[in-house]
C-alpha cells in the first residue's frame, strides 16, 4: 500500500522529469543551443522515479547514455544539467561531458557512460566497496534491453551474485535498440527469467505503474541491505520520442504510431495524476515550468569553458 504522500512525491517526480524533457525537446533546435546528442526519457519516467524513491540519499545510481531521467530522479542539480547540455563551464562536467555523461556525486549520481553496459560493472564495484567498508548502502545498475546483450553485463551479474553484493540491476526494456526490435536481437526468453541462472531473484514490473516499480525496487533494495545479495528487475516501458534527438520518429517505419499511441494512452503520469485534483496538478506544473525557466536562464547566462583548457 502506497501512502498518499508517497504518491504525491512520485507524481511530482515524474511530472517534473516529463516537463524538463519536453522543454528540452521544444528548444533543442530553436536556437541550436544544445549541441550534444540528447536521448530523451519521455515515457520512461516511472522507471527512474519509482526506483529512486526506494533509495536513500547515500545510495548510488550509475546511469547510461539516456541519463537525464536517472540524474533528475536521484536529485541531480537541474541548473548544472542545463548548463552542461549547453556546454557551459557551470555544467556538472564543465562542458566536458554533455547529455550522455551527467554526474552529481553529492546526490549519488555516479558518472554516466555512453558505452552500452559500461557503467553496470561500476555499480557492482560501488557495491563491492560498500561491502569491503561495511557501509549500509545500495548501488543501482540501470541498463537498457540492448545493454544486457553485452558480455560485461553477464560478467557483472556473475560477480555480484558470487560475492552477494548490495546491488540492484534494473533493465529498462523499451523494446528497441535505436531502431532494432528486441525480437531481432534476442531469443524469446523473458529477460527477467535470466536472473535465475545467476542465482538471484528476477522480477518484472509495469513501467507505466510507478507504484509497481517502487514496490518491487524497495523489496530488492531491502534484500540488498539485509546482505542477501543482488536482485534483477525488468521494467516494461516505452520511449516515446526518437532514439536520439527531440522528435517523434513514426515516419521511419521501424515502429508504428499505433504502437506508440497504445503506450501513450497508458502514460504513467496521466494514470497517477487522475488521483489528484486537476488544480493541484496544474500548480505543480506551473511550479516546475518556472523552475525550468530559471535553470535555462542560468545556463544561457553561464560562460563557455575557456579555450586555454585545451592543452597543446
Which one, 93 or 218, has the nearer CB to another protein? Answer: 93
End-to-end C-alpha distance for the chain, whole angstroms: 60
The CB-of-174 to another protein minimum distance in angstroms stands at 23
Which one, 129 or 218, has the nearer CB to another protein? Answer: 129
C-alpha 187/C-alpha 183 separation (Å) is 7
Which phi and psi (to 5°) does residue 2 adopt? -100, 125
User: CB-based contacts of 275: which residues, under 8 Å, 6+ apart?
Assistant: 7
The CB-of-138 to another protein minimum distance in angstroms stands at 12
C-alpha 64/C-alpha 62 separation (Å) is 7
Which one, 121 or 202, has the nearer CB to another protein? Answer: 121
Which one, 50 or 87, has the nearer CB to another protein? Answer: 87
The CB-of-248 to another protein minimum distance in angstroms stands at 30
Sites of contact with another protein (CB under 8 A): 60, 62, 92-97, 101, 103, 105, 110-111, 113, 115, 118-130, 132-133, 139, 151-152, 154-156, 158-159, 162
C-alpha distances in angstroms, 258 versus 18, 134, 177, 263, 310?
21, 50, 19, 9, 48
The CB-of-151 to another protein minimum distance in angstroms stands at 7
The three cell numbers of residue 253 are 517505419
The CB-of-152 to another protein minimum distance in angstroms stands at 5
Which one, 33 or 150, has the nearer CB to another protein? Answer: 150
The CB-of-258 to another protein minimum distance in angstroms stands at 38
Which one, 151 or 277, has the nearer CB to another protein? Answer: 151
Q: How many Cα atoms within 13 Å fall on the side-chain side of residue 257?
A: 5
Which one, 159 or 263, has the nearer CB to another protein? Answer: 159
The CB-of-101 to another protein minimum distance in angstroms stands at 5
The CB-of-126 to another protein minimum distance in angstroms stands at 5
Which one, 44 or 60, has the nearer CB to another protein? Answer: 60
Which one, 62 or 237, has the nearer CB to another protein? Answer: 62
The CB-of-295 to another protein minimum distance in angstroms stands at 19
Amino acid at each position: 500500500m502506497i501512502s498518499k504522500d508517497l504518491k504525491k512525491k512520485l507524481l511530482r517526480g515524474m511530472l517534473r522529469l516529463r516537463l524538463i524533457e519536453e522543454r528540452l525537446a521544444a528548444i533543442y533546435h530553436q536556437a541550436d543551443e544544445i549541441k550534444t546528442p540528447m536521448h530523451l526519457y519521455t515515457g520512461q519516467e516511472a522507471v527512474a522515479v519509482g526506483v529512486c524513491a526506494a533509495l536513500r540519499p547515500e545510495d548510488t545510481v550509475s546511469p547510461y547514455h539516456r541519463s537525464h531521467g536517472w540524474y533528475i530522479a536521484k536529485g541531480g542539480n537541474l541548473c548544472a544539467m542545463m548548463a552542461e547540455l549547453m556546454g557551459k563551464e557551470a555544467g556538472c562536467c564543465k562542458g566536458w561531458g554533455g547529455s550522455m555523461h551527467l554526474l552529481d556525486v553529492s546526490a549519488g549520481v555516479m558518472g554516466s557512460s555512453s558505452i552500452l553496459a559500461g557503467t553496470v560493472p561500476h555499480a557492482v564495484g560501488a557495491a563491492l566497496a560498500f561491502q569491503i567498508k561495511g557501509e549500509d548502502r545500495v548501488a543501482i545498475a540501470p541498463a537498457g534491453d540492448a545493454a544486457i546483450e553485452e558480455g560485461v553485463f553477464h560478467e557483472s551479474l556473475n560477480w555480484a551474485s558470487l560475492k552477494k553484493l548490495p546491488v540492484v540491476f534494473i533493465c529498462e526494456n523499451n523494446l528497441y535498440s535505436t531502431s532494432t526490435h528486441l525480437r531481432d536481437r534476442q531469443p524469446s526468453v523473458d529477460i527477467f527469467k535470466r536472473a535465475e541462472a545467476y542465482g538471484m531473484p528476477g522480477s518484472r514490473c509495469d513501467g507505466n505503474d510507478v507504484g509497481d516499480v517502487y514496490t518491487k525496487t524497495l523489496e530488492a533494495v531491502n534484500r540488498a541491505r539485509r546482505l542477501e545479495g543482488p536482485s534483477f528487475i525488468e521494467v516494461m516501458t516505452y520511449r516515446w520520442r526518437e532514439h536520439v534527438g527531440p522528435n517523434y520518429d513514426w515516419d521511419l517505419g521501424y515502429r508504428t504510431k499505433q504502437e506508440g499511441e497504445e503506450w501513450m494512452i497508458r502514460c504513467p503520469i496521466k494514470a497517477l495524476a487522475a488521483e489528484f485534483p486537476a488544480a493541484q496538478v496544474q500548480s505543480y506544473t506551473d511550479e516546475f515550468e518556472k523552475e525550468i525557466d530559471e535553470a535555462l536562464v542560468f545556463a544561457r547566462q553561464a560562460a563557455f569553458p575557456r579555450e586555454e583548457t585545451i592543452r597543446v
